[in-house]
Amino acid sequence: MHLFEPLKKLEILKDVYLLSEFVTPFENQLLNDLHVVIQTAPLRQMMTPSGFPMSVTTVNCGQLGWISDKKGYRYSSVDPLSNKPWPAMPESFKQLAQHAASTAGFADFEADACLINCYQPNTKMGLHQDKDEQDFTQPIVSVSLGVPAMFQIGGFKRSDKALKLPLYHGDVLVWGGESRLRFHGVLPIKAAVHPAFGERRINLTFRKAG
Ligand code: MD6
Ligand code: FE
């Protein structure tokens, strides 16, 4: 191994793992499958409970999908745009999520929800906790594609100091266990171009929601 080969698995905080370039062996199939999913159910701006459009565009695949509207945040088995089930979760997505989770020490992860967020330049995601799921023993697997993002991982209060972590195309971040309810977010995306994604960043977040 080259002396300056980057670490491929790094425990950033207790139960928070960065798996650099983890997507590479899955990439071709994953990008084809992602394309099919977003052709089947479009990315759209969801409304926050307070009535403002979210800055990311969002869609889901899998048995459950995360939604936000004036009634709040929750999971739904149907896409409110079409009143039909979300597109099925592609095998390549399931395999990537399970393999990433087990590499980070979370055995037998079976995601039933995959949230797809699309970021343009200046789009951000404020600090929040993921707590709309039933079972906090299951980790979250977050896949970064396209232009880089500066991810923030905080503590268990919104005001706790957050660590900044750059995430690049192909990186996977897994957090669970003691860190499952840490606040996290994404700083405004800087203008950049990725050969396959243009100015966009796409994040896939896998969860066991039900
Ligand atoms: C991201 N998204 O897009 C991170 N969490 O990189 C999230 O952390 C997230 O978009 C809960 C609900 C919706 C989200
Ligand atoms: Fe989140």
Distance (angstroms) between ligand 2 centre and the Cα of 179 equals: 12
The answer to whether residue 38 scores a pLDDT higher than 60 is: yes
pLDDT tens-place string over residues 44-83: 999 999 999 999 999 999 999 999 999 999 999 999 999 9
pLDDT tens-place string over residues 19-28: 999 999 999 9
Residues in the chain: 210
In our burial notation (b when 16+ CB lie closer than 10 A, e otherwise), range 74-107 reads: ebbeebeeeeebbbebbebbbebbbbbbeebebe
The pLDDT score that the predictor gives to residue 158 is 97
The pLDDT score that the predictor gives to residue 3 is 67
E-assigned strands of 30-139? 57-61, 65-69, 72-76, 78-79, 84-85, 113-119, 125-128
pTM over 0.85: yes
The 3 state secondary structure assigned to 1-51 is CCCCCCCCEEEEECCEEEECCCCHHHHHHHHHHHHHHHHHCCCECCECCCC
Distance (angstroms) between ligand 2 centre and the Cα of 137 equals: 16
Ligand number nearest to the C-alpha of 180? 2
The answer to whether residue 4 scores a pLDDT higher than 90 is: no
Identify the burial level of 135 via C-beta atoms within 10 angstroms of its C-beta, where 0-12 means exposed, 13-18 middle and 19 or more buried. exposed
The answer to whether residue 1 scores a pLDDT higher than 60 is: no
Region 111-125: mean pLDDT is 98
Atom of ligand 1 nearest to the CA of 117: 3
Ligand number nearest to the C-alpha of 151? 1
The pLDDT score that the predictor gives to residue 58 is 98
Q: Yes or no: say if 155 and 184 are a contact pair by the CB < 8 Å rule.
A: no
Q: What angle do CA 179, 22, 140 make, to 5 degrees?
A: 25
Ligand number nearest to the C-alpha of 186? 1
Distance (angstroms) between ligand 2 centre and the Cα of 185 equals: 7
Count of alpha carbons within 13 angstroms of residue 61, beta-carbon side: 22
Atom of ligand 1 nearest to the CA of 130: 11
Q: Whose CA is nearest to atom 4 of ligand 1?
A: 185
The mean pLDDT value of the chain amounts to: 96
Distance (angstroms) between ligand 2 centre and the Cα of 161 equals: 17
Cα distances (Å, whole numbers) of residue 170 to 14, 26, 121, 146: 22, 9, 19, 8
- Give residue ranges with CB within 6 A of ligand 1: 66, 115, 117, 125, 130, 142, 184, 186, 203, 205
The answer to whether residue 95 scores a pLDDT higher than 70 is: yes
The pLDDT score that the predictor gives to residue 109 is 98
pLDDT tens-place string over residues 121-178: 999 999 999 999 999 999 999 999 999 999 999 999 999 999 999 999 999 999 999 9
Distance (angstroms) between ligand 1 centre and the Cα of 3 equals: 35
The pLDDT score that the predictor gives to residue 138 is 98
